[in-house]
Structure 1
Amino acid sequence: MWEYEHTAETVASPEAVWRLWADVPGWGTWNAEIEKVEIDGPFAVGTQITMTPPDDEPVVLKVVEVAENALFVDQLDAGDFVVTTTHRVEPLGDGRSRIVYRTEIDGPAADQAGPELGPAITADFPDTVAALVRLAEGR
């Protein structure tokens, strides 16, 4: 298995972060790695999200877990490996929250696919989370 995690602290509430996550069509306003994004239903378990990075092919993700104001998990099933990304926001007290983005690549081909694809998938996490924080904080 291959894994990567990025965290950031913010004064934004979990509810403010959640509103941005649940607004899937608006993801491109804080994620520069999205040229186009579509969702095929409500922001709920079983819904598919199609993200198109700039100058690349669309990526189809399935929402596999949702806990309002706390987390959502999406998966890309590539057959021999599965990419699972958890997006979590945790209240820390004193008006602060922690945002966690965690990606795991698992499955029979994970030992090869993880080191090849994982760094490319997660390279934008620091910038994406920083932009999410700025927007959630109203800056």
Structure 2
Amino acid sequence: MWTYEHSVETTATTSSVWHLWADVERWADWNSEIEKIEIDGPFAVGTRITMTPPGEDPIPLLVAEAVEDELFVDEARFGGLLLRTLHRVDPAGQGRIRVTYRMEITGAGADEAGPEIGPGITADWPDTMAALTRLAEAADTDKAHRADKGNEVAG
């Protein structure tokens, strides 16, 4: 098995991060490694996603787990390999959350193939996660601003 994990902390809310994850057709807004993406149903267990990186063939993904405001797991199969990516949010204290991505490559030949393909797949995670959390923080700021404006009008 080959694994890699990266985490970032943010002031964004879990619901704002979840909203960005669940809006699959807009993943390219925060993930530059997506040229095209399609989802064949609701963002839920069993739904298929087709993600096309720039200049590459489409990659079929399956949503294997989804717990709103907490985590989702996508899976891709290549030959005898299973690539599982966990996306999770956890409390980090003092109004912050921790966003974690974890990839696990298992199956026949994973010990050899993982170190060859895994780093190329996960190399953009720091940038992708920074962009994701910036958008989530901005969404929270926009919500708070709209709520303040609503209170001014009501008051």
Q: TM-score, normalised by structure 1?
A: 0.97
Runs of 4+ aligned residues of structure 1 deviating over 4 Å after TM superposition are: none
What RMSD in Å do the two structures reach over aligned CA positions? 1.0
**Does 2:21 correspond to 1:21?**
yes
3-state DSSP of counterpart to 1:34: coil
Unaligned runs of 5+ residues in structure 1 are none
Task: Answer yes or no: is the 8 Å Cα contact 1:13–1:91 preserved in 2.
Answer: no
> Percent of aligned pairs with the same residue?
60
Structure whose alpha-carbon radius of gyration is higher? 2
Q: TM-score, normalised by structure 2?
A: 0.87
For the residues of structure 2 that align with 1:133 and 1:17, how far apart are their CA atoms? 7
For the residues of structure 2 that align with 1:49 and 1:113, how far apart are their CA atoms? 23
- Which structure is higher in helix share? 2
3-state DSSP of counterpart to 1:31: coil
Residues 1-139 of structure 1: pairs in structure 2 closer than 5 A: 1-138=1-138
- Displacement of 1:25 in angstroms is 0.3
Q: Deviations over 1:99-130 (max 9, x none)?
A: 00000000111012101110011001000000
Unaligned runs of 5+ residues in structure 2 are 140-155
3-state DSSP of counterpart to 1:137: helix
- Displacement of 1:92 in angstroms is 2.1
- Displacement of 1:91 in angstroms is 1.8
- Displacement of 1:79 in angstroms is 3.0
- Displacement of 1:34 in angstroms is 0.3
For the residues of structure 2 that align with 1:24 and 1:58, how far apart are their CA atoms? 15
* Matched letter for residue 134 of structure 1: R
